[in-house]
Structures are given as structure tokens and as C-alpha cells.
Amino acid sequence: MNAPLSPFLPFTRPSIDEETIAAVADVLRSGWITTGPRCSELEAALSARYGGRPVRLASSATAALGIALRVAGIGAGDEVITTPLSWVATANVVLEVGATPVFVDVDAATRNIDLEQAAAAVTPRTRALLPVDLAGLPVDRDRLHALAARHGLRVIEDAAQSMGARWRAREIGSFGDLVSFSFHPNKNMTSIEGGCLVMNDEAEARRFEKLRLQGVTRHADGGMDVDVLGGKSNLTDVAAAVGLGQLRHLDAFNARRHQLARRYFERFPRALGFELPVADFEQSNWHMFQPLLPAGSDRGRFIEAMRAEGIGVGVHYPALHLFTLYRARGHREGQFPHAEDIGRRTVTLPLFPAMADADVDRVCAALERVLRRGGA
């Protein structure tokens, strides 16, 4: 399927069709290029996908996640239990609202937050759980929500990577508490930059709208009021036009990702000593394909050698508690051994809908050449 890509194969690339490009041109010609009718249309389409739950757009998933914390009433003195194996924004937004991110290690197989350790980390100051679906593989939603219910906690899902993923046949976002998605260019659908939050009711949606744009409430007579400190996190109609085009293809995109992931499992040179991800084809959306390098490998050398082969490799993600910002807050090496090991050895191989089957074969052949000649 598809013609092989050449000469350089990046680890990701968005697929944007001519109809979507034309829709962007229409928005530019309309004169209404900031938040407007296309944003409303995309919010309505997403709401319909998630069973009528209210959905509001934001300029990024980071912004949506930060507003979600404020919608949930999380602030100074509160604790939020989360994972150290994620993009650093997951923890940064907790700090930004004045709360404390409490890290627990990940499960070595799924690479998602270890819910048994999360349960042990609950204190009287814990207000929320903030799990991440790493690479689009969902956290166990049954155990997650049972834990939250047991302690009266909010659940703020960092589902940035899991657009179209499912838990027990139910699409992520169609149930649960507060669910944030990303539309960054490397995600399964994009609006160039952008994200959204799925909420429980219109009261939460109205609060989100105010926090998204300076706390403003507009009145029918042209007046306005500001009763809460908001920021500026609104999405543009230009971005929403891209998002609408992408949403139409999301299921096909994800189906192709599944096909490519299956081929990786079929063709991967297993004798090289990599550790492959969980082969979940019922629930994951296969946002990324991430094997772990053999123990003791030099990842920088491996990435350079693969680039010389014409193959792009990403790293998602280093264990974030080892960044200077979080070391300064008392974190240290050895606290979360699974996250640290995965963070040191993970590599993101090319996986995106425009790839051909032959591109997967090309990656696997390059892996074998690089590892056998000691390029890692």
C-alpha cells in the first residue's frame, strides 16, 4: 500500500489533503481568521463523536490541560499524582496552577502509570489523578476510575496521544471525567497547533471558555464582565479548518497505523535484543511505534547511524523528573527505575499513514545493518 517514501524517511509526517488546503484558503479569503464559525463547527463535530459531551478547543493540548486543572479547582497546596514518563508539559501545568506533581513509576510493560503505586501515593492533599496514554496505549480506565472514586479524586486524562484509541470498545473521550487531546503536527490528527478538552457539563464548558480568553463574559447588549483571571488560549479558524479536514480521515489514518504497526511486529529483527511495545491492536491507536534499545546501547550513536541510513528517529520521552527544574524540587536518579530505564532506551521509529509497507521493511533492514555493525 502506498509508494515507498524517499530518500529520507522522517519518524512522522502529517497527511493533509487538497480539500483541507482549499478549506484553509476559504477561511483566509473570508476575512474571519481567528476564533469563529470553523471553531464552532469543529467543537460540534468532536462533541458528536464523544456522545454529546461538551468539547472546547484551545491553542494547544498544554493549554487545555492547564485549564482543565483550573476547571477542576486544583490550585495551591494540592497534589496531583502523575507519571514521570511523558512530555514535560504534563507536570509543568500542575506547577503553573500552584499545585505539586507527585510522580509514581510506570509499569514496565505498558509504560503507563503504575496504578498500584498511584494508590499508595494518595494523601489527604491529593486532589486529582493525571494519567498519560503513552504512544496511544490507554491506561486501564476501569482501575483508574475505581481508584478515583475510592478517594473522591478528579481524573484529568492527558490523552494527548490517544485520539481514536479505545478502552473495552469505548472510545477515549466518550466517557470519564476531563479528557485533553492534542492536535500537534505529530499526532494522529492535527490542526497545526491546538488541542481540546472534553468535559462533563455546560457549566464546566462555560468556565473553560472564560479561562481560555481573559475571563471575559459577553452580554447581549454589547457589554462584558470579567470575574475570573483568564489567559489567551483560543484556537483560530485557520487551525480549525485543518482540524475539520483531519477529523474526516481520523479513522482511516488510525486503521493505516494499525496495519503499519502489525508489519513492524512481523518484520522486526528480534534477535537484535530490542524490547518491543505491547502488541495491543484492540485499544491502542498506534500513535508511535517505540522499541527499547538493547541495554547498554548508545542512543545518540544509534540515531546518527539511522540518519545516515536515511531513517529519522525520535525520542519520546526522557524521564522528566531528571530535568533540572524537577531535580531542583528534590527529585533524583533512582526514584523511578522503570521510567528512567525506558526513558534512556526508547526510540520512536517512523510510523504515519502515508508510509508504504516497504518503508517499514526499509526501517527494519536499516536496524539490522546498524546494530550488526555496532552502530549503537
Please, where in the chain does CATH 3.40.640.10 lie? 18-243
- Under CATH, which architecture does the 18-243 domain have? 3-Layer(aba) Sandwich (3.40)
Percent of the chain predicted with pLDDT > 90: 97
Encode pLDDT of 33-81 as tens digits.
999 999 999 999 999 999 999 999 999 999 999 999 999 999 999 999 9
Q: What is the pLDDT of residues 226-257, one digit of tens each?
A: 999 999 999 999 999 999 999 999 999 999 99
Average pLDDT, the chain: 97
Q: What are phi and psi of 82, to 5 degrees?
A: -150, -175
Whether residue 374 is predicted with pLDDT greater than 70 in this model: the reply is: yes
* Integer Cα distance of 348 and 43 in angstroms: 31
Cα separation values, 322 from 102, 235, 319, Å: 14, 32, 6
- Give DSSP secondary structure letters for 58-106: ES-HHHHHHHHHHHTT--TT-EEEE-SSS-THHHHHHHHTT-EEEE-PB
Task: Kindly indicate the confidence band of residue 2, based on its pLDDT and cuts at 50, 70 and 90.
Answer: confident
- Residue 373 pLDDT: 87
The Cα–Cα gap between 120 and 122 comes to 6
Q: Which amino acid is at 355?
A: M
User: Is the confidence at residue 18, as pLDDT, over 90?
Assistant: yes
Task: Kindly compute the dihedral angle of the four CA atoms of residues 347, 251, 82, 194, in this order, to the nearest 10 degrees.
Answer: 90
Q: Return the amino acid letter for 332.
A: R
Proportion of the chain above pLDDT 70, given as a percent: 99
Write down the pLDDT at residue 1.
Answer: 63
- Considering the chain, tell me which residue range(s) the CATH 3.90.1150.10 domain(s) occupy: 250-372
- Answer whether residue 4 shows pLDDT above 80: no
Least confident of 6-10, 45-49, 121-125, 359-363: 6-10
What's the angle, vertex CA 138, arms to CA 15 and CA 103, rounded to 5? 115
CATH number attached to the domain at 250-372:
3.90.1150.10
User: What does DSSP assign to residue 55?
Assistant: E
| Cα 32–chain centre separation | 29
CB 161 within 8 A of CB 316: no
Active-site residue among 187, 207, 287, 345? 187
pLDDT score at 320 = 98
CA distance 188 to 157: 17
- What's the predicted TM-score (pTM) here? 0.96
Mean pLDDT of 177-184: 98
Residue 187 is a catalytic residue: yes
